Chain A
Amino acid sequence: EVQVVESGGDLVKPGGSLRLSCAASGFTFRNAWMNWVRQAPGKGLEWVGRIKSKADGGTADFAAPVKGRFIISRDDSKNTLYVQMNSLKTEDTAVYYCTTGDHGAFNIWGQGTMVTVSS
Protein backbone atom coordinates (compact mmCIF):
# COMPACT_ATOMS: atom_id res chain seq x y z
CA GLU A 1 0.00 0.00 0.00
CA VAL A 2 1.30 3.42 -0.94
CA GLN A 3 1.37 5.66 2.10
CA VAL A 4 3.15 8.37 4.02
CA VAL A 5 2.80 8.81 7.78
CA GLU A 6 3.76 12.03 9.53
CA SER A 7 4.81 12.27 13.16
CA GLY A 8 6.45 14.65 15.59
CA GLY A 9 3.80 17.31 16.00
CA ASP A 10 3.68 18.95 19.41
CA LEU A 11 3.06 22.09 21.44
CA VAL A 12 6.11 24.36 21.37
CA LYS A 13 6.82 27.87 22.62
CA PRO A 14 7.50 30.77 20.24
CA GLY A 15 11.15 30.81 19.29
CA GLY A 16 11.45 27.08 19.82
CA SER A 17 12.31 24.26 17.45
CA LEU A 18 10.65 21.05 16.35
CA ARG A 19 11.43 18.27 13.89
CA LEU A 20 8.71 16.47 11.98
CA SER A 21 9.16 13.13 10.25
CA CYS A 22 7.37 11.45 7.38
CA ALA A 23 7.77 7.70 6.87
CA ALA A 24 7.06 6.52 3.33
CA SER A 25 6.19 3.09 2.01
CA GLY A 26 4.81 1.42 -1.09
CA PHE A 27 6.69 3.53 -3.62
CA THR A 28 10.29 4.24 -4.61
CA PHE A 29 11.04 6.97 -2.08
CA ARG A 30 14.55 7.72 -3.33
CA ASN A 31 13.14 8.81 -6.71
CA ALA A 32 10.39 11.01 -5.26
CA TRP A 33 10.43 14.77 -4.88
CA MET A 34 8.90 15.23 -1.45
CA ASN A 35 6.95 18.19 -0.15
CA TRP A 36 5.55 19.64 3.05
CA VAL A 37 2.18 21.43 2.93
CA ARG A 38 0.53 23.01 5.96
CA GLN A 39 -2.93 24.18 6.92
CA ALA A 40 -3.54 26.61 9.76
CA PRO A 41 -6.75 26.05 11.74
CA GLY A 42 -9.73 27.10 9.61
CA LYS A 43 -7.49 28.29 6.78
CA GLY A 44 -6.41 27.08 3.34
CA LEU A 45 -3.51 24.99 2.15
CA GLU A 46 -0.02 26.49 2.05
CA TRP A 47 2.97 24.88 0.36
CA VAL A 48 5.92 24.95 2.75
CA GLY A 49 8.81 23.46 0.81
CA ARG A 50 10.20 20.64 -1.29
CA ILE A 51 13.28 18.49 -1.57
CA LYS A 52 14.31 16.94 -4.85
CA SER A 53 15.53 13.39 -5.20
CA LYS A 54 19.27 12.95 -4.79
CA ALA A 55 19.46 11.92 -8.44
CA ASP A 56 18.06 15.34 -9.34
CA GLY A 57 20.40 17.20 -7.02
CA GLY A 58 18.75 16.76 -3.63
CA THR A 59 18.20 20.50 -3.16
CA ALA A 60 15.38 22.06 -1.20
CA ASP A 61 13.27 25.14 -1.85
CA PHE A 62 10.93 26.93 0.52
CA ALA A 63 8.01 29.29 0.59
CA ALA A 64 8.88 32.82 1.67
CA PRO A 65 7.26 32.64 5.16
CA VAL A 66 9.57 29.79 6.25
CA LYS A 67 12.71 30.42 4.22
CA GLY A 68 15.76 30.64 6.48
CA ARG A 69 13.92 29.02 9.42
CA PHE A 70 12.95 25.58 8.09
CA ILE A 71 15.27 22.86 6.77
CA ILE A 72 14.04 19.87 4.78
CA SER A 73 16.13 16.71 4.61
CA ARG A 74 15.70 13.09 3.63
CA ASP A 75 17.15 9.72 4.57
CA ASP A 76 16.61 7.44 1.62
CA SER A 77 17.98 4.45 3.57
CA LYS A 78 15.05 4.86 5.98
CA ASN A 79 12.48 6.08 3.43
CA THR A 80 11.94 9.08 5.68
CA LEU A 81 11.49 12.80 5.07
CA TYR A 82 12.14 15.43 7.73
CA VAL A 83 11.49 19.09 8.32
CA GLN A 84 13.46 20.89 11.02
CA MET A 85 11.52 23.93 12.10
CA ASN A 86 13.45 26.64 13.96
CA SER A 87 12.55 30.06 15.35
CA LEU A 88 8.91 29.01 15.40
CA LYS A 89 6.22 31.68 15.36
CA THR A 90 2.59 31.54 16.41
CA GLU A 91 1.66 31.77 12.72
CA ASP A 92 3.41 28.43 12.11
CA THR A 93 0.59 26.74 14.02
CA ALA A 94 -0.92 24.28 11.54
CA VAL A 95 -1.45 20.71 10.49
CA TYR A 96 1.64 19.70 8.51
CA TYR A 97 1.20 17.25 5.65
CA CYS A 98 3.85 15.26 3.80
CA THR A 99 2.97 14.82 0.15
CA THR A 100 4.30 13.79 -3.24
CA GLY A 101 3.11 12.96 -6.73
CA ASP A 102 3.66 13.33 -10.46
CA HIS A 103 2.78 15.85 -13.16
CA GLY A 104 3.21 18.77 -10.77
CA ALA A 105 0.41 17.51 -8.51
CA PHE A 106 0.16 15.64 -5.21
CA ASN A 107 -1.68 12.32 -5.16
CA ILE A 108 -0.10 10.85 -2.02
CA TRP A 109 -0.88 12.54 1.29
CA GLY A 110 -0.44 11.59 4.92
CA GLN A 111 -2.98 12.19 7.67
CA GLY A 112 -1.02 15.20 8.92
CA THR A 113 0.57 16.09 12.24
CA MET A 114 -0.44 19.09 14.36
CA VAL A 115 2.07 21.73 15.39
CA THR A 116 0.94 24.31 17.93
CA VAL A 117 3.15 27.29 18.67
CA SER A 118 1.96 29.03 21.80
CA SER A 119 3.30 30.38 25.06
Chain B
Amino acid sequence: DIQMTQSPSTLSASVGDRVTITCRASQSLSSWLAWYQQKPGKAPKLLIYKASSLESGVPSRFSGSGSGTEFTLTISSLQPDDFATYYCQQYDTYFMFTFGQGTKLEIK
Protein backbone atom coordinates (compact mmCIF):
# COMPACT_ATOMS: atom_id res chain seq x y z
CA ASP B 1 0.00 0.00 0.00
CA ILE B 2 1.10 3.55 -0.71
CA GLN B 3 1.77 5.60 2.43
CA MET B 4 1.35 9.37 2.50
CA THR B 5 3.38 11.54 4.90
CA GLN B 6 2.47 15.19 5.41
CA SER B 7 4.68 17.80 6.97
CA PRO B 8 4.47 19.67 9.16
CA SER B 9 1.77 18.20 11.38
CA THR B 10 1.06 21.66 12.80
CA LEU B 11 1.87 25.02 11.29
CA SER B 12 1.53 28.40 13.01
CA ALA B 13 1.24 31.39 10.72
CA SER B 14 -0.19 34.90 10.49
CA VAL B 15 -2.69 36.51 8.15
CA GLY B 16 -0.85 37.52 4.99
CA ASP B 17 1.86 34.85 5.30
CA ARG B 18 2.80 32.50 2.49
CA VAL B 19 2.66 28.89 3.68
CA THR B 20 3.59 25.57 2.16
CA ILE B 21 2.52 22.09 3.18
CA THR B 22 4.35 19.04 1.84
CA CYS B 23 3.07 15.56 1.11
CA ARG B 24 5.43 12.69 0.34
CA ALA B 25 4.36 9.35 -1.08
CA SER B 26 6.07 6.03 -0.46
CA GLN B 27 6.06 5.37 -4.20
CA SER B 28 5.47 7.34 -7.38
CA LEU B 29 1.93 8.60 -7.92
CA SER B 30 2.33 10.27 -11.26
CA SER B 31 -0.05 13.22 -10.65
CA TRP B 32 -2.98 11.55 -8.89
CA LEU B 33 -2.82 13.76 -5.82
CA ALA B 34 -5.54 15.91 -4.26
CA TRP B 35 -5.69 18.42 -1.42
CA TYR B 36 -8.59 19.09 0.94
CA GLN B 37 -9.44 21.68 3.59
CA GLN B 38 -11.48 20.67 6.62
CA LYS B 39 -12.94 22.83 9.35
CA PRO B 40 -14.18 21.44 12.69
CA GLY B 41 -17.50 19.63 12.42
CA LYS B 42 -17.60 19.97 8.64
CA ALA B 43 -16.98 17.67 5.70
CA PRO B 44 -13.72 18.10 3.79
CA LYS B 45 -13.66 20.47 0.84
CA LEU B 46 -11.70 19.69 -2.31
CA LEU B 47 -9.13 22.39 -3.16
CA ILE B 48 -6.76 20.84 -5.71
CA TYR B 49 -6.95 17.74 -7.90
CA LYS B 50 -4.42 16.09 -10.23
CA ALA B 51 -1.68 17.75 -8.17
CA SER B 52 -2.10 21.26 -9.60
CA SER B 53 -5.65 21.76 -10.91
CA LEU B 54 -7.71 24.25 -8.90
CA GLU B 55 -11.23 23.08 -8.09
CA SER B 56 -13.96 25.39 -9.31
CA GLY B 57 -14.78 28.14 -6.84
CA VAL B 58 -11.56 27.79 -4.83
CA PRO B 59 -9.62 31.07 -4.44
CA SER B 60 -6.54 31.44 -6.59
CA ARG B 61 -4.32 31.96 -3.54
CA PHE B 62 -4.35 28.16 -3.26
CA SER B 63 -2.00 26.29 -5.58
CA GLY B 64 -0.58 22.80 -5.86
CA SER B 65 2.55 21.45 -7.45
CA GLY B 66 4.70 18.35 -7.64
CA SER B 67 4.82 14.94 -9.23
CA GLY B 68 6.22 11.53 -8.51
CA THR B 69 6.60 11.28 -4.75
CA GLU B 70 6.71 14.90 -3.54
CA PHE B 71 3.86 17.37 -3.68
CA THR B 72 3.14 20.77 -2.14
CA LEU B 73 0.13 22.89 -1.32
CA THR B 74 0.85 26.62 -1.16
CA ILE B 75 -1.35 29.38 0.15
CA SER B 76 0.09 32.61 -1.19
CA SER B 77 -1.40 35.04 1.34
CA LEU B 78 -3.22 33.56 4.32
CA GLN B 79 -6.71 34.80 5.01
CA PRO B 80 -8.62 34.39 8.30
CA ASP B 81 -10.87 31.79 6.67
CA ASP B 82 -7.88 29.58 5.79
CA PHE B 83 -7.12 28.42 9.32
CA ALA B 84 -8.16 24.78 9.16
CA THR B 85 -6.75 21.29 8.73
CA TYR B 86 -5.41 20.24 5.35
CA TYR B 87 -5.13 16.72 3.95
CA CYS B 88 -3.46 15.29 0.90
CA GLN B 89 -4.93 12.19 -0.76
CA GLN B 90 -3.51 9.83 -3.36
CA TYR B 91 -5.28 7.70 -5.92
CA ASP B 92 -3.41 4.67 -7.17
CA THR B 93 -3.60 2.48 -10.22
CA TYR B 94 -5.85 0.02 -8.38
CA PHE B 95 -8.40 2.79 -7.77
CA MET B 96 -7.69 2.79 -4.05
CA PHE B 97 -7.14 5.88 -1.95
CA THR B 98 -4.96 6.97 0.95
CA PHE B 99 -5.02 10.22 2.93
CA GLY B 100 -2.13 11.93 4.62
CA GLN B 101 -2.35 12.37 8.37
CA GLY B 102 -3.27 16.06 8.11
CA THR B 103 -1.67 19.45 8.78
CA LYS B 104 -3.36 21.78 11.24
CA LEU B 105 -2.86 25.41 10.26
CA GLU B 106 -3.11 27.63 13.35
CA ILE B 107 -3.08 31.34 13.91
CA LYS B 108 0.24 32.57 15.31
Contact = CB atoms under 8 A, between A and B. Distances in A.
A47 interface: yes
Interface stretch (B15-23, B75-83, B90-98): B90-98
Nearest to A111: B43
A30 B45 CA distance: 23
A45 interface: yes
A50 B100 CA distance: 18
Contact of B91 (A52, A97, A104, A110): A104
Contacts of A50: 95-97
Contacts of B62: none
Per DSSP, are chain A's interface residues mostly helix, strand or loop, or mixed? loop
Contact of A44 (B43, B50, B95, B99): B99
Nearest to A35: B97
Contacts of B91: 104-105
A87 B49 CA distance: 35
- Sorting the interface of chain B by its residue count into under 10, 10 to 19, 20 to 34 or 35 or more gives 20 to 34
Interface in B52-80: 53, 55
A44 B34 contact: no
Contact of B96 (A46, A47, A109, A111): A47
A33 B99 contact: no
Contacts of B87: 44-45
A107 interface: yes
B102 A44 contact: yes
Interface string A6-46: 00000000000000000000000000010101000000111
Pairs A-B, 4 closest by C-beta atoms: A104-B91, A105-B34, A105-B49, A109-B43
Given A45-B38, A106-B44, A109-B43, 6 more contacts: A44-B102, A63-B96, A104-B34, A104-B97, A106-B34, A107-B55
